[in-house]
Amino acid sequence: MNRPLSPALAFAVAAAGIGLFSIMDAFMKSLTLALGVYNALIWRTGVSAVFGFGAWAATGRARPTRRAMRLHVIRGAITAAMALLFFWGLARVPMAQAITLSYIAPLAALLLGALFLHERVGARVIGASFAAFAGVLVVLAGESRASLGPEALAGSAAVLASALLYAVNLVVARMQSQAAGPGEIAFFQGMIVTAFLALGAPWLLAVPEAAQWWKILAGGLLATASLFLLGWAYAHGETGYLATTEYTSFVYAATLGFLVFGEHLSPFTLAGAAIIIASCLYAARRRDIAATGPDSAVLMLLPRKRTRR
């Protein structure tokens, strides 16, 4: 899986995966308003598991190794907590504020990638990440909302915690992509997240109305395709490098908001978007991508027994 190829190709595939995730978020926002956070997540991830199984079967359905299964479970648990926190917080703070807080994830991923995966963090990528974050601050400066409600602080804390979990998720995704194929990752991601959420089913589960099922199916398909693309990209590029693609989600969100909802962008938003795009393009010019092995990182995060492939 770790064939040498152009870093720009891995970057482009990761950015496409983020784009599909951004479209999926639009479906999830509608589902969350209609069904609530728990039911929107469990039904969408359940459908994602079905689509993921198809992708896994189409790529050979190889039996997962012990190492891969441990990583699937770890990432599934992280993803379940991360998603619940994010959508819970999103209901209590403005969208721009939630997205801004979530952008700390790529910066944290840079440090985690260097710490656990021994990846080089060059000046170009560090500079581009901080420049992109500065672009987010420009956008936030234009979003002057007076009253956010009494639960805004709790919502912000939830989104911040979700962003930190997402940074860990990015690092685990890099290790996971070294131990399993994209189809396997897509299937087990959906299945394990659904299994964790199912623990609350006796108290929280409700069957959606017929009018919501097309959104659930669309969201599941988009999530599976995104995981497939991101799994492939992270198998061929470093975590800190590919994490900068997360900043493109703002561009996707702004475009979807204009085309679908007729939302007009303020000068602050346009200026911030320009900084983010320029920063990502600057980071994408990096050429000194070294091949790194995940074995030492896996040994650090997982039990020492049965670590062979």
What confidence tier does 301 reach under pLDDT thresholds 50, 70, 90?
very low
Tell the burial category of 104 from Cβ atoms under 10 Å away from its Cβ (0-12, 13-18, 19+): middle
Closest CA to 44 of 162, 203, 212: 212
What count of other Cβ atoms lies within 10 Å of the Cβ of residue 291?
9
Question: Could you report the per-residue pLDDT of 17-59, keeping only the tens digit for each?
Answer: 999 988 888 888 788 888 999 999 999 999 989 988 988 888 7
The whole-angstrom separation of Cα 79 and Cα 97 is: 21
- In this prediction, residues 2-14 reach a mean pLDDT of 76
What count of other Cβ atoms lies within 10 Å of the Cβ of residue 8?
14
Residue with tokens 């007009």: 264
The answer to pTM > 0.85 is no
Q: Which residue has the higher pLDDT, 142 or 305?
A: 142
CB 276 within 8 A of CB 132: yes
CB 1 within 8 A of CB 177: yes
- In this prediction, residues 76-101 reach a mean pLDDT of 81
- Indicate if the pLDDT at residue 294 is higher than 60: no
What ranges do the domains of the chain cover?
Answer: 7-301
Question: Could you report the per-residue pLDDT of 225-273, keeping only the tens digit for each?
Answer: 887 888 788 888 876 678 778 777 777 877 777 777 666 667 877 787 7
- In this prediction, residues 199-225 reach a mean pLDDT of 92
**63 in helix, strand or coil?**
coil
Q: What angle, rounded to 10 degrees, do the helices at 213-234 and 182-197 form?
A: 130
Question: Could you report the per-residue pLDDT of 73-85, keeping only the tens digit for each?
Answer: 999 999 999 999 9
Closest CA to 89 of 163, 183, 182: 163
